Amino acid sequence: MQETILNLITLQDLDNKIRIWRQTAAEGPAKLEQARERLSALEAERGALIAKQAENAKARRELEAETADLTQRKATNQTRQLKARNSNEYRAVLKEAETITSTLTAKEDELLVLMDEGEKLQSLLPGLAADCASETLAFADQESTIRAIIKEGQLSEAEALDKRNALLPSIPPAILGRYNTIAGNRDGQAMAPVVQGMCRICRLSIPPQLFNELQKNDKLLACPNCARILYWMHHPAFKDFCTEPEPQAQGIPGDKAEKQPKGENGKRRRPTKGKEAPESAPAPDGEKVAQI
């Protein structure tokens, strides 16, 4: 039975790794899209700036043509003032001159605003172009890293699948069926390590008698709370899957408490009360899986 439990732990470890690698590969396109968003935003901003520059230049050319025409009309009007034949004609020409001058002044003011705006736009373009170039390099590097992680994960997944397929015949069909049923109902986690009398998955203590039976390692035992198959993490047979050092002796649940050392006054020290720190769920052992 010990060998069967060890095979189940190995199977769970492989399944956990396969699940993580598949999740990493599935998240790859989304991660690439997130990396591309910053570059796309900068390129869009640069494109909008260039388009605004073109609009500004077009508006300036139109205004320059209008001011040139008004300047010519103003010169023609001055000549007409000198050639006016009577007071009525002179007043009409003078009124036209006032209109031309007023319009010309307004157009020149607009032209000055456009010229100032054009200079500001031109000053922003080099910095934005540099940001785009820098972000392009950063995106290429990040894209290369993400694709490398996905490829490595796919290769590792294929290797783990080969190991899994080779392991399955060594597990009795009835026990394998039980494992698959529990895994299907418990988010892929059928095995649960026990540390200090506590199920590391559901984080509830198991009965002392069950813990004592578990340490014998001669039968399949289930957690009374989450129904997962239990194993004692610090059993010598499972040392390759132990994710943390064995805790200091606390006394097996149900055993008599360990005697405390005497203090200077000859009285026994009272144990310090306090809650145990929460323990994290076990992660797959072996090589670490790179995350995007």
The per-residue pLDDT of the chain, averaged, comes to 82
Write out pLDDT tens, residues 89-116.
Answer: 999 999 999 999 999 999 999 999 999 9
Residue 62 has pLDDT above 80, yes or no: yes
pLDDT at 101 (0 to 100)? 93
Neighbouring-strand partners of residue 229 = 191, 222
Which residues are within 8 A (CB) of 154 and not within 5 positions of it... i.e. 6 or more apart? 21, 25
Residue 241 has pLDDT above 90, yes or no: no
Write out pLDDT tens, residues 196-211.
Answer: 889 989 999 989 999 8
Write out pLDDT tens, residues 140-182.
Answer: 988 888 888 888 888 889 999 999 999 999 999 999 999 999 9
The model's pTM is 0.56
Residue 289 has pLDDT above 60, yes or no: no
pLDDT at 245 (0 to 100)? 52
d(CA 196, CA 233): 10
Between 263 and 34, name the one with better pLDDT.
34
Between 253 and 42, name the one with better pLDDT.
42
Q: Which CATH architecture is the domain 16-169 placed in? A: Orthogonal Bundle (1.10)
Residue-range domain boundaries for the chain: 16-169, 172-241
Write out pLDDT tens, residues 171-199.
Answer: 999 999 999 999 999 999 999 999 888 99
pLDDT at 23 (0 to 100)? 86
CB atoms under 10 Å from CB of 118, counted, come to: 16
Under the banding of pLDDT at 50, 70 and 90, the label for residue 263 is very low
